[in-house]
Structure 1
């Protein structure tokens, strides 16, 4: 994997361990020479994952909508920062630059991004590994809900298995690399499937 998108909260959460896990993930990506692609912000878990990569000499690309940049929430010390007009454009550009995706804890935005990329994986629009860093059991109830969806016939078990889950950055990245090796067809995305060219 050459680059990974990280989805996460723009808030730090109430427990320090969430920020610590985000920082550790950024550091682990840098140590493995994997470029970090993320939303470009300097606050919350977003800022910490970027700091973790930067402090370990990693390459970090931020992609941020202009309206958020104007609110002065853009990280100032990234390797590169791209400005886009809309949130949709941001998500599409982030994924188009990545060979894998990881979600840390977060709110509505993180869940939106996670389920969108899982839908793309289910439709084979995106073929890279999708990982969930389950810090402090944050996603335990969500994983139970996914199992319920399989049980009730709304989600196929093979699509449930598209989500790779681990409690630590090291374990998650190892599992994602194994997935990539077992699914080597990491073809580029057909941008026409998700980008409005009008």
Structure 2
């Protein structure tokens, strides 16, 4: 009998550690919690920054880790090859496509331009009706407050409908994120 693929959460986050120790601790807590909930981590396959931390924590807790990295980042992001599934894609667009296709929910942790790119692509797809997967944002130490204010400004200026804001579920703790993911996926 074939083994069933567990429900999966795609985590977008930084390949750097950032300035707050809470970024690292929340990433580690998310990784452990995903593993403990039996949810597979799908992520960018890097072994650096909070990206590497979330994967290492999931792996150390016995979780299933699925990493996707474009060839040009294998050395730069130190591709994490000691995981269950390690996929090398041709480019960033393929990476996002593979990560999204292999997940049932999306979670963004603190990160930089790459995280924003990934997050806004899945939000745009959601706005266009291309998926209905939950899209969650972990607002560690208020990191995403400026982004949330920008979204409100975009809506107020009528560049997006008010419903756009509803596509992004914002949480302040890994525990709250996990409560939502368990409800949606288990």
TM-score (norm 2): 0.91
Query: What displacement does 1:19 show?
Result: 0.8
Residue ranges of structure 2 left out of the alignment (5+ in a row)? 1-5
> For this pair of structures, how many residues does the alignment match?
181
Question: Which residue matches 1:93?
Answer: 98
List 4+ stretches of structure 1 deviating above 2 A. 173-181
1:74-102 per-residue CA deviation (whole Å, 9 max, x = no partner) reads 11321110111101000000000000000
Distance in structure 2 (CA, Å) of the matches to 1:42 and 1:72: 6
Question: Which residue matches 1:61?
Answer: 66
Distance in structure 2 (CA, Å) of the matches to 1:95 and 1:106: 18
Distance in structure 1 (CA, Å) of the matches to 2:160 and 2:183: 24
Q: CA RMSD in A?
A: 1.7
Question: Which residue matches 1:42?
Answer: 47
1:123-179 per-residue CA deviation (whole Å, 9 max, x = no partner) reads 121211000000000001111111122222122122211100001122123234556
Per mean C-alpha deviation after superposition, the further-off stretch among 89-98 and 163-172 is 163-172
Question: Which residue matches 1:195?
Answer: none
Does the CA-based 8 Å contact 2:15-2:77 persist in structure 1?
no
Distance in structure 1 (CA, Å) of the matches to 2:87 and 2:81: 12
Does the CA-based 8 Å contact 1:4-1:35 persist in structure 2?
yes
Distance in structure 1 (CA, Å) of the matches to 2:29 and 2:76: 27
Does the CA-based 8 Å contact 1:164-1:176 persist in structure 2?
no
Distance in structure 2 (CA, Å) of the matches to 1:98 and 1:55: 21
Question: Which residue matches 1:112?
Answer: 117
Does the CA-based 8 Å contact 1:39-1:63 persist in structure 2?
yes
Residue 157 (1) aligns with residue 147 (2) = no
Does the CA-based 8 Å contact 1:22-1:104 persist in structure 2?
yes
